[in-house]
């Protein structure tokens, strides 16, 4: 996953070449407290530094990128801000929870949302690889039928440079209309992350899911207590050790039997050499006898 987010390697300031597949632009619409308009982060494949006060939306943007690349059930939202509990989830981002209100009668608190079931949300990332002159857009569209439940969504992995304003707006609130419009343009939305994940990994050249696991771990990494454990758990591909050990032992047994056979054959040859020499000498003697 060389340079996928423009953060994996140091850039050469003397060169305009940016190797690997890199994030060019991030767009969000109705995601977290980024409300009502399309917000864009142009990075152009370069390294990017997000700064701002607490609550300004830094982790919200990071969680948008993470959501584009990993299934929601594996994401601990707001970890980039050091949150230890699941204070945010996909539903809170789609509805735009921004504060809690306390009921003076019951004493219970409930979140206050910027949006309701009539709204929809989009996160979109455009990735480019200059070496292959390729551009890929990943997008997810969210909507809620019931604000008490997790949102519905569909996924898009398409070649080319798409945008929220041009490709994911102007359809009212009928998601079926948006789906049809995308299909008419040759873009096929999918409902499940596994199919979407296979499609975008193929397009981005990510050969292993382990690379995305490593990205997930480094998003919120504050410190590494044990480097060996980190490499074993997040960088090395898992494999069946017991099966490999059995194959290794079986191979060693085959080599041992072959070596034993060679030693036995060598000993037999050593025993036969004097006999052959005697037979050669006897044959020569017979030829010299007078008939």
For residues 215 and 270, state if they share a domain: no
Whole-angstrom CA distances from 178 to 31, 236, 266 are 18, 41, 79
Residue 220: burial class (beta carbons within 10 Å; 0-12, 13-18, 19+): middle
For residues 118 and 247, state if they share a domain: no
Boundary-marking domain end, from 224, 248, 273: 224
For residues 211 and 245, state if they share a domain: no
Residue 140's nearest CA partner among 80, 199, 211, 220 is 199
Q: What is the mean pLDDT of residues 76-101?
A: 78
Residue 291, pLDDT above cutoff 70: no
Boundary-marking domain end, from 172, 197, 224: 224
The angle formed by the CA atoms of residues 218, 59 and 192, to the nearest 5 degrees, is 75
Residue 167: burial class (beta carbons within 10 Å; 0-12, 13-18, 19+): buried
Residue 85, pLDDT above cutoff 60: no
- Which stretch of 61-70, 152-161, 205-214 has the lowest confidence by average pLDDT? 205-214
The angle formed by the CA atoms of residues 58, 62 and 66, to the nearest 5 degrees, is 165
- Which stretch of 78-92, 138-152, 190-204 has the lowest confidence by average pLDDT? 78-92
Confidence (pLDDT) at 237: 67
Task: Count structural domains, the chain.
Answer: 2
Boundary-marking domain end, from 193, 224, 255: 224
Inside any domain, residue 10 = no
| This model's pTM is above 0.75 | no
Residue 64's nearest CA partner among 100, 32, 102 is 32
Spatial distance between the Cα atoms of 203 and 4, rounded to a whole number of angstroms: 12
Q: What is the mean pLDDT of residues 157-180?
A: 94
Residue 270, pLDDT above cutoff 50: yes
Residue 17, pLDDT above cutoff 90: no
Residue 168, pLDDT above cutoff 90: yes
pLDDT band at 12 (very low <50, low <70, confident <90, very high): low
Q: What is the mean pLDDT of residues 95-109?
A: 86
Taking each continuous run of H as one helix and of E as one strand, the counts in the chain are 8, 7
pLDDT band at 180 (very low <50, low <70, confident <90, very high): very high
pLDDT in tens, 213-256: 878 877 765 555 676 776 676 666 666 778 888 888 888 989 99
Whole-angstrom CA distances from 115 to 97, 139, 151, 214 are 8, 20, 12, 33
- The 3-state secondary structure of 62-126 reads HHHHHHHHCCHHHCCCCHHHCCCCCCCCHHHHHHCEEEEEECCCCCCEEEEECCCCCCEEEEEEE
pLDDT in tens, 182-195: 999 999 999 999 99
What DSSP string runs through 25-59? EEEEEEETTEEEEEEEEE-TTS-------TTSSHH
For residues 38 and 133, state if they share a domain: yes
What DSSP string runs through 228-261? HHHHHHHTSPP--HHHHHHHHHHHHHHHHHHHHH
Inside any domain, residue 210 = yes
Average of per-residue pLDDT values in the chain: 85
More confident residue, 278 or 4: 278
For residues 200 and 283, state if they share a domain: no
For residues 32 and 168, state if they share a domain: yes
What range defines the domain where residue 56 resides? 22-224
pLDDT band at 3 (very low <50, low <70, confident <90, very high): very low
Inside any domain, residue 1 = no
């Amino acid at each position: 996953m060389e340079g996928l987010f423009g953060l994996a390697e140091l850039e050469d300031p003397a060169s305009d070449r940016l190797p690997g597949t890199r994030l060019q632009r991030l767009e969000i619409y109705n995601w977290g407290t980024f409300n009502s308009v399309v917000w864009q982060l142009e990075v152009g494949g370069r390294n990017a530094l997000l700064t701002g006060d607490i609550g300004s939306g830094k982790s919200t943007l990071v969680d948008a990128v993470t959501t584009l690349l990993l299934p929601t059930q594996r994401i601990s939202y707001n970890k980039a801000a050091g949150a230890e509990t699941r204070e945010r989830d996909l539903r809170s981002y789609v509805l735009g929870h921004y504060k809690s209100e306390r009921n003076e009668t019951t004493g219970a608190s409930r979140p206050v949302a910027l949006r309701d079931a009539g709204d929809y949300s989009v996160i979109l990332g455009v990735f480019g690889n200059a070496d292959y002159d390729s551009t890929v857009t990943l997008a997810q569209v969210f909507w809620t039928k019931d604000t008490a439940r997790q949102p519905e969504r569909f996924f898009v992995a398409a070649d080319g440079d798409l945008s929220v304003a041009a490709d994911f707006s102007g359809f009212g609130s009928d998601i079926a209309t948006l789906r049809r419009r995308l299909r008419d343009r040759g873009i096929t939305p999918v409902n499940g992350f596994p199919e979407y994940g296979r499609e975008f990994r193929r397009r981005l050249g990510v050969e292993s899911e382990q690379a995305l696991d490593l990205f997930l771990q480094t998003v919120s990494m504050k410190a590494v207590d044990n480097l060996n454990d980190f490499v074993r758990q997040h960088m090395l591909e898992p494999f069946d050790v017991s099966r490999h050990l059995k194959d290794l032992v079986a191979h060693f047994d085959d080599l041992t039997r072959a070596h034993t056979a060679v030693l036995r054959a060598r000993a037999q040859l050593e025993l036969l050499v004097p006999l052959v020499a005697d037979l050669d000498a006897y044959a020569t003697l017979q030829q010299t006898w007078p008939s």
